[in-house]
């Protein structure tokens, strides 16, 4: 499989998107380092080749940054994980912009209220950031917690969504 990779400019810096031959986002993040994006893809889904090109997801990301927060909702993604991880990634996509959950609340959404560490791990292993909005999960005290692409980006995304 040959995947397309595209880097766009956003108010939060360079956003690089890797999409498979069926236009599904395999990974994305706020970097122009293509190797860092490829490293986020599960080995079973890594493409044989990567070519620079235009992804459909880039238009959705630009629309999101233009104020259409729902633009990212319909972008197809593909990740490899356990049943719980796949359920978690689907649940992340259902979190309404501007109403983040705590890791504990996210664990409840997964049907496992005691699985707070698993909920945090699901966020940490999320490859198509933005399109699977793991940035919408916070610590119990309301602090940001972690984010693979840095807390300034997470803070900016949450601020953009809370003001919409």
pLDDT digits (tens, 9 = 90+) for 86-110: 999 999 999 999 999 999 999 999 8
Write out the DSSP string of the chain.
-EEEEEEEEETTEEEEEEE-TTS-EEEEES-S-HHHHHHTS-GGG--SEEEE---HHHHHHHHHHTT-GGGGTT--B-----HHHHHHHHHHTTSPTT--EEHHHHHHHTT-TT-HHHHHHHHHT--BTTTS-GGGEE-TTS-----TT-HHHHHHHHHHHHT-
pLDDT digits (tens, 9 = 90+) for 47-69: 999 999 999 999 999 999 999 99
- Output Rg (C-alpha) for the chain, integer angstroms: 15
For residue 152, name the pLDDT band (cuts at 50, 70, 90): very high
Structure tokens at 44: 């079973």
CA distance 55 to 84: 28
Structure tokens at 86: 């796949």
- CATH number of 83-162: 3.40.50.300, 3.40.50.2300, 1.10.630.10, 1.10.10.10? 1.10.10.10
CA distance 147 to 140: 15
- Catalytic center residues: 134
Give me the residue spans of the domains in the chain.
2-72, 83-162
pTM over 0.85: yes
């Amino acid at each position: 499989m040959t995947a397309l990779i595209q880097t766009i400019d956003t108010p939060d810096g360079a956003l690089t998107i890797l999409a498979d031959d069926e236009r599904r986002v395999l990974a994305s993040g706020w970097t122009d380092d293509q190797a860092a994006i490829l490293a986020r893809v599960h080995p079973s889904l890594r493409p044989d080749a990567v070519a620079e090109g235009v992804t459909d997801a880039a238009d959705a990301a630009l629309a999101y940054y233009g104020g259409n927060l729902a633009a990212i909702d319909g972008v197809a993604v593909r990740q490899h994980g356990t049943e719980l991880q796949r359920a978690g990634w689907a649940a992340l996509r259902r979190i309404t912009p501007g109403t983040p959950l705590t890791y504990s609340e996210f664990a409840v959404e997964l049907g496992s209220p005691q699985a707070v560490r698993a909920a945090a791990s699901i966020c940490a292993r999320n490859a198509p950031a933005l399109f699977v909005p793991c940035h919408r999960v916070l610590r119990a005290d309301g602090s940001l917690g972690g984010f693979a692409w840095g807390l300034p980006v997470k803070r900016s995304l949450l601020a953009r969504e809370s003001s919409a």
